[in-house]
């Protein structure tokens, strides 16, 4: 029997379960492009429940224990001698979410001789050292598309939040008990008429483009693979061959590439400096795609008018992380892909992957990042490994 180790974020401070704001969530059967939502044999949770925290257990305990497997769930992953480090050496499967990542470093992978499967309950497996996973003979899988629309909605929200100067206006009327119209509007603009670009026009990037099109903006994108001509025409997109060309052409840039060697530290001082003064960057992809301190300097100098996103490094970030106190930000913790709506999909997708794994059936190629000794499926298209 297998040992499955799940590293999930802590429960709400008010206890579990929380008081839910709504009684149900819409049923979504498919994604744009025709991919179906997860198809496990069954689920043991009610969609809309909080599943991504320790007590939520991704709704997997009954399934795993009925099989006779051992299911260990913890949020303790960073401290020396953490539960993750203590439980890892005899684990067969590790499940983690990008919001509270179990960083599977080369050392941790080496400490786990039985480890054969790492599942990302969500999207983005950069917290797994992919070259080590390949060398270890592991499969790495994620629940592709499960939260792509969730993230695209969050990115659009953060673009509007920055451009309309929402956070300071909110602070004036709530925390500061004021009614300061001039202070609130002196950095507020309309998005209408602006040039808006996405870097990475995959599932999330394309969903952002589609959601922004009705705002009467001029849309730009850059990606390694160009979108079909019909899509470019429908959305009136301008394609750019690289990030530099895109960055210097837009007022607002939203990042939607995976983190891999080609994108790490891409938005450094030089690239940010090539943007128009007063540009906005929204980053819901991965924090290490931008130079942390270059962002802070650019906000202080006025080169950037605003920066928003939900991705940090490390996660959780230390109390003195400079993004907690920099000006003109609209940061959230890493939540965009963990709405209750998204959780229902990625918990079901995690179960689908586990069912396939235990039954010896192939995992959908769209879920695969590493398999068979190399990058596979979605991983082979979207990731690179240094070498
Ligand atoms: P996709 O794989 O669908 O899209 C990523 C796109 O980025 C692909 O079109 C890919 O190109 C492109 N790309 C990769 N490298 C580069 C590069 N160097 N320059 C330009 N384009 C590049 O992924 P998703 O849209 O589903 O997700 C994107 C990322 O968003 C994830 O990897 C993850 O890091 C992050 N994410 C964040 C979440 C959150 O909660 N904040 C939740 C989910 C994802 P191509 O395929 O054409 O080769």
Ligand 1 centroid to Cα of residue 335, in Å, is 17
Q: Are residues 97 and 185 in the same domain?
A: no
Q: Are residues 212 and 95 in the same domain?
A: no
Q: Whose CA is nearest to atom 39 of ligand 1?
A: 337
User: Is 284 labelled as part of a ligand binding site?
Assistant: yes
pLDDT in tens, 61-117: 999 999 999 999 999 999 989 999 999 999 999 999 999 999 999 999 999 999 999
Q: Are residues 17 and 102 in the same domain?
A: yes
Segments forming the whole domain that contains residue 37: 3-146+338-375
User: Is 325 labelled as part of a ligand binding site?
Assistant: no
Q: How confident is the model at residue 382 (pLDDT cuts 50, 70, 90)?
A: confident
On the question of pLDDT at 350 being above 70, the answer is yes
Ligand 1 pocket residue status of 381, Cβ below 6 Å? yes
Q: Are residues 243 and 348 in the same domain?
A: no
Ligand 1 centroid to Cα of residue 246, in Å, is 16
Q: Are residues 342 and 367 in the same domain?
A: yes
On the question of pLDDT at 302 being above 80, the answer is yes
Ligand 1 pocket residue status of 311, Cβ below 6 Å? yes
Preceding omega of 17 cis (within 30 degrees of 0): yes
Q: Are strands 368-371 and 139-142 parallel, antiparallel or unpaired?
A: antiparallel
Contact predicate 215/270, CB 8 Å? no
Q: Does any domain span residue 380?
A: no
Q: How confident is the model at residue 30 (pLDDT cuts 50, 70, 90)?
A: very high
C-alpha 261/C-alpha 375 separation (Å) is: 14
Q: Does any domain span residue 331?
A: no
Domain count, the chain: 2
On the question of pLDDT at 387 being above 60, the answer is no
C-alpha 308/C-alpha 158 separation (Å) is: 6
Q: Whose CA is nearest to atom 32 of ligand 1?
A: 258
Q: Does any domain span residue 271?
A: yes
C-alpha 380/C-alpha 387 separation (Å) is: 15
Catalytic residues: 147, 286, 315, 334
Its pTM stands at 0.96
- Using most ligand atoms within 8 A of CB, pick from 127, 146, 153, 200 the residue to mutate for ligand 1: 200
Ligand 1 centroid to Cα of residue 68, in Å, is 37
- Using most ligand atoms within 8 A of CB, pick from 123, 143, 335 the residue to mutate for ligand 1: 123
User: Is 310 labelled as part of a ligand binding site?
Assistant: yes
Ligand 1 centroid to Cα of residue 257, in Å, is 3
Ligand 1 pocket residue status of 146, Cβ below 6 Å? no
Q: Are residues 135 and 12 in the same domain?
A: yes
Ligand 1 centroid to Cα of residue 95, in Å, is 21
User: Is 147 labelled as part of a ligand binding site?
Assistant: yes
On the question of pLDDT at 386 being above 80, the answer is no
> Who contacts 86 (Cβ-Cβ below 8 Å, separation ≥6)?
none
Q: Are residues 67 and 197 in the same domain?
A: no
Contact predicate 307/272, CB 8 Å? no
C-alpha 265/C-alpha 313 separation (Å) is: 12
Using the 3D structure, point to which of 324, 352, 367 is the last residue of a domain.
324
Residue in 138, 173, 61, 39 with CA at minimum distance from that of residue 375: 138
C-alpha 273/C-alpha 295 separation (Å) is: 10
User: Is 338 labelled as part of a ligand binding site?
Assistant: no
Ligand 1 pocket residue status of 35, Cβ below 6 Å? no
Q: Are residues 96 and 139 in the same domain?
A: yes
Give 243: exposed, middle or buried? Use CB within 10 Å, 0-12, 13-18, 19+. Answer: buried
Ligand 1 centroid to Cα of residue 259, in Å, is 8
Q: Are residues 131 and 152 in the same domain?
A: no
Q: Does any domain span residue 387?
A: no
Q: Are residues 142 and 170 in the same domain?
A: no
Q: Quote the longest CA-to-CA distance of the chain.
A: 65
Q: Does any domain span residue 258?
A: yes
**For the CA of 286, the nearest atom of ligand 1:** 34
Contact predicate 278/301, CB 8 Å? no
Can you tell me the mean pLDDT for 180-192?
98
C-alpha 168/C-alpha 185 separation (Å) is: 9
Q: Does any domain span residue 289?
A: yes
DSSP 353-379: HHHHHHHTPPPPGGGEEEETTEE-HHH
- Using most ligand atoms within 8 A of CB, pick from 120, 232, 237, 257 the residue to mutate for ligand 1: 257
pLDDT in tens, 252-300: 999 999 999 999 999 999 999 999 999 999 999 999 999 999 999 999 9
User: Is 158 labelled as part of a ligand binding site?
Assistant: no
Q: What is the CATH number of the domain that holds 348?
A: 3.40.50.720
Q: Are strands 374-375 and 368-371 parallel, antiparallel or unpaired?
A: antiparallel
Contact predicate 38/348, CB 8 Å? yes
Q: Does any domain span residue 330?
A: no
DSSP 62-130: HHHHHTT-EEEEE---SSTT-HHHHHGGG-SEEEEBTTB---B-HHHHHT-TT--EEEESSS--TTB-H
Q: Are residues 128 and 199 in the same domain?
A: no
- Measured in whole angstroms, how far is the alpha carbon of residue 182 from the centre of its chain? 36
Q: Are residues 56 and 153 in the same domain?
A: no
Q: Does any domain span residue 329?
A: no
Q: How confident is the model at residue 384 (pLDDT cuts 50, 70, 90)?
A: confident
């Amino acid at each position: 029997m297998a040992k499955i180790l799940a590293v999930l974020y802590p429960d709400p401070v008010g206890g579990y379960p929380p008081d839910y704001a709504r009684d149900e969530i819409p049923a979504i059967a498919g994604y744009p492009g025709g991919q179906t939502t997860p198809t496990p044999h069954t689920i043991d949770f009610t969609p809309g429940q909080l599943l991504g925290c320790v007590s939520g257990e991704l709704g997997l305990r009954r399934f795993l224990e009925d099989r006779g497997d051992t299911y260990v769930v913890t949020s303790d992953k960073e401290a020396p001698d953490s539960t993750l480090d203590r439980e890892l050496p005899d684990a067969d499967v590790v499940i983690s979410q990008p919001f509270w990542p179990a960083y599977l470093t080369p050392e941790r992978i080496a400490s786990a001789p039985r480890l054969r499967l790492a599942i990302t309950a969500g999207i983005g497996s950069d917290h797994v050292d992919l070259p080590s996973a390949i060398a270890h003979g592991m499969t790495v899988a994620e629940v592709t598309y499960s939260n792509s629309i969730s993230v695209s909605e969050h990115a659009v929200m953060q673009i509007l939040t920055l451009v309309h100067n929402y956070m300071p206006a909110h602070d004036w009327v709530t925390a500061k008990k004021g009614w300061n119209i001039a202070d609130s509007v002196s950095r507020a603009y309309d998005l209408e008429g602006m040039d808006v670009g996405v870097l990475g026009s995959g599932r999330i990037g394309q969903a952002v483009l589609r959601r922004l099109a009705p705002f009467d903006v001029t849309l730009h994108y850059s990606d390694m693979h160009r979108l079909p001509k019909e899509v470019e025409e429908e959305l009136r997109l301008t394609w750019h061959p690289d990030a530099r060309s895109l960055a210097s052409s837009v007022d607002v840039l939203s990042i939607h590439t995976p983190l891999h060697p080609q994108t790490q530290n891409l938005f450094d001082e030089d690239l940010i400096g090539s943007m128009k003064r007063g540009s906005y960057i929204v980053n819901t992809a991965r924090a290490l795609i931008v130079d942390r301190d270059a962002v802070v300097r650019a906000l202080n100098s006025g080169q950037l008018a605003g920066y928003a996103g939900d991705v940090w490094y490390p996660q959780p970030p230390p109390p003195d992380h400079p993004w907690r106190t920099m000006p003109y930000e609209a940061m959230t913790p890493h939540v965009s892909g963990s709405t209750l709506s998204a959780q229902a999909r990625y918990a079901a997708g995690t179960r689908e992957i586990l069912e396939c794994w235990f039954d010896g059936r192939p995992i959908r190629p769209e879920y695969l990042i590493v398999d068979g000794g190399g990058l596979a499926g979605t991983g082979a298209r979207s990731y690179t490994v240094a070498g």
